[in-house]
Amino acid sequence: MSDISESAGHKANPLRWLVVAIPYLWLLVFFLAPFFIVFKISLSQVAIAMPPYVPAFDLAAGISRFFADLKELTFSNYLWLTEDALYWKSYLSSVGIALVSTLILLAIGFPVAYGMARSPKAWRPTLLMLVILPFWTSFLIRVYAWIGILKKEGLLNQFLLWVGAINEPLTIINTNTAVYIGIVYSYLPFMILPLYASLEKLDETLLEAASDLGCPPTKAFWLITFPLALPGVIAGSFLCFIPIVGEFVIPDLLGGSETMMIGKTLWSEFFNNRDWPVSSAVAVLLLLILVVPIVVFQNSQMKAMEAGK
């Protein structure tokens, strides 16, 4: 009903707005402002210097200079991105890989989350902690662990040869398969947690009521359980899909030359080719792809927060 801002008496203390101002300014300076700089640099020309670009415009140089610069503004970097197949292919392939891996994550995560939600109450905290624990351990280390497993002379091939399932070692590392395995492995906790949260809230008596009204268990799952778990499905999917599109570590360590993902492209454009303007343009376009899912995700999060009140 009442927030501090509306209540009586609090208006007296303007210092309390510092509470808002400090984190607000911090994020404006260190989160929002950098995006404008990225955008600005994406319109600049590459140069061999430090920093390795010619500024597109510089407000410090005065207004007239600003307008002069404005005329010289160039979308050449963006044109370059559309002309070179490498870029749009890696955009498409990033989105494709993210979509497919989100579906795989859903297919694997749902049964696990469902099993956890239906396990005896006493086990649940332990199971939950077991899901959260990998989330706290280093992402890099967990991806690294798979290199030793998927290598040509790695543990998986050793095992399969020993069992006799294969005669020749499989080539998994440096392929898209390895990338999928790495992504699914790394993001599984992100999928399980929101799914579990919504499945755990599910009232058992709803299923009893459905069964009492003549609905067999499988049908009840699709008519009752799944629709009610939908918020978890949506949250989990966004939570995985968005960062996967921009993933760098996994395609870099597990993928090969055929693996094209935009995060990797941006990284090599920046660190290997030292082309800051082009990597900025790549970042701007990546952001544009992700803006819609991010906004949708935020709205659903905020709605959940409001509902929590």
Of 68-76, 77-85, 143-151, 221-229, the segment contacting other proteins by CB under 8 A is 143-151
- Residue 188 binds other proteins, judged by CB under 8 A: yes
- Residue 8 binds other proteins, judged by CB under 8 A: yes
- Residue 19 binds other proteins, judged by CB under 8 A: yes
Show the binding pattern over residues 37-56: x = contacts other proteins (CB under 8 A), - = does not.
xx--x---------x-----
- Residue 243 binds other proteins, judged by CB under 8 A: yes
Q: Which one among 56, 97, 131, 233 touches other proteins, defined by CB under 8 A?
A: 131
In whole angstroms, give the CA distance from residue 174 to residue 258.
8
Of 64-72, 74-82, 222-230, 238-246, the segment contacting other proteins by CB under 8 A is 238-246
Residues 85-104 that bind other proteins (CB under 8 A): none
Q: Which one among 80, 100, 211, 215 touches other proteins, defined by CB under 8 A?
A: 211
In whole angstroms, give the CA distance from residue 172 to residue 150.
6
| Rounded alpha-carbon distances, angstroms, from residue 194 to 112, 233, 272 | 12, 7, 38
Q: Which one among 54, 108, 170, 202 touches other proteins, defined by CB under 8 A?
A: 108
Least Å distance between CB 79 and other proteins? 20
- Residue 221 binds other proteins, judged by CB under 8 A: no
Q: Which one among 193, 195, 197, 245 touches other proteins, defined by CB under 8 A?
A: 245
106: tokens are: 């859903």
Angle between helix 176-200 and 226-245 (nearest 10)? 140
Q: Tokens 């990797």 identify what position?
A: 264
- Residue 191 binds other proteins, judged by CB under 8 A: no
- Residue 229 binds other proteins, judged by CB under 8 A: no
Q: Which one among 14, 125, 164, 216 touches other proteins, defined by CB under 8 A?
A: 125
18: tokens are: 């510092």
Least Å distance between CB 296 and other proteins? 11
Least Å distance between CB 35 and other proteins? 6
Least Å distance between CB 166 and other proteins? 16
Q: Which one among 57, 87, 146, 187 touches other proteins, defined by CB under 8 A?
A: 146
